Amino acid sequence: MAEETSRRIGPVVLLGPPGAGKGTQAKRIAAQYGIPHVSTGDLLRDHVQRGTALGQQAKEAMSRGDLVSDHLVCDMVKDRLRQPDCVRGSVMDGFPRTVAQARWLDMFLEREQGCGDKAFFDKSMSGKGLLIVIRLDVDYNQLLHRLTGRRTCPTCGRIYNVHIQPPCVADTCDLDGSKLVVRDDDREEVIRERLAVYERQTQPVADYYQRKGRLVTVQGDLPVDEVTDRIFRITGRVTATAEGG
């Protein structure tokens, strides 16, 4: 996949319920534009695995399928977005997930990266980058089917699905031969709770961006490559607008 590594991109926010394909598509956007994939789920799982103070606080909520508290997640995201590799943009997967997080992100982008609402409405600020919010829509039963079949490579992070995108050799990563794992929160009762939490707490985030005229919805139940094509059409168009094209 060709990389575009000179322009400022986004940040791109991927919204969507658990299993919508955010992680799958975020990896492709990151590779295409040479920007980092910032997954709050991956960052939190890494903290849990390392047993950090944040990991210890997050662990219980995550295993129930609940959200980790806003202030912990926003502090973690702030540290990540301040890293030098985020200077040209980033693709955010799993953040924001509450309206409070969305408001916090708007403030952060305005203050620290010059690409908040002001840049969106003031065309003279072209070149600063524009927040691109894409929601992936997928039917509930399809989400359940996807999540119960998901397998992940613990070494390279590649995502598979035993029903839809199986590896060439069962339970083995095609890229590095690692044994694939099932995520702790991909048990059916936890999946149902995560989907309910999405409806309650994250659907209002989509409404928040919709009211601002920033939300673009992509049908997420198409084949993976087709979803990627549709996303690239949006990112290409918005990026051209941001550059005054």
| Residues found near ligand AP5 in the complex (CB under 6 A) | 16, 18-24, 40-41, 44, 61-62, 65-68, 73, 94-95, 97, 101, 146-147, 149-150, 159-161, 164-165, 185, 194, 222-224, 227
Are 123 and 206 contacting, i.e. CB atoms less than 8 angstroms apart?
no
Strands (E), the chain: 9-15, 37-39, 89-93, 132-137, 150-152, 159-161, 215-219
Cβ of residue 61: shortest distance to ligand AP5, in angstroms?
A: 5
Q: For residues 115 and 241, give the distance between their C-alpha atoms in angstroms, rounded to a whole number.
A: 13
Q: Compute the least distance from the CB of residue 77 to ligand AP5, in Å.
A: 8
Q: At what angle do helices 70-81 and 40-50 cross, to 10 degrees?
A: 100
User: Cβ(198)–Cβ(98) under 8 Å?
Assistant: no
Asked if residues 94 and 40 have their Cβ atoms less than 8 Å apart, the reply is yes
Nearer to ligand AP5, 130 or 180 (CB): 180
Catalytic annotation present for 103: no
Q: Is 200 annotated in the active site? A: no
Q: Which of 8, 97, 135, 158 is catalytic?
A: 97
* 22 in catalytic set: yes
Residue 58 Cβ vs ligand AP5, minimum distance, rounded to whole Å: 7
Marked catalytic residue, from 8, 22, 59, 80: 22
- Exactly one of 183, 192, 212, 230 is catalytic; name it: 183
φ/ψ of 215, rounded to 5, equals -85, 130
150 catalytic residue (yes or no): yes
CB of 37 to ligand AP5, least distance (A): 11
Q: Which residues are catalytic?
A: 22, 97, 150, 183, 194
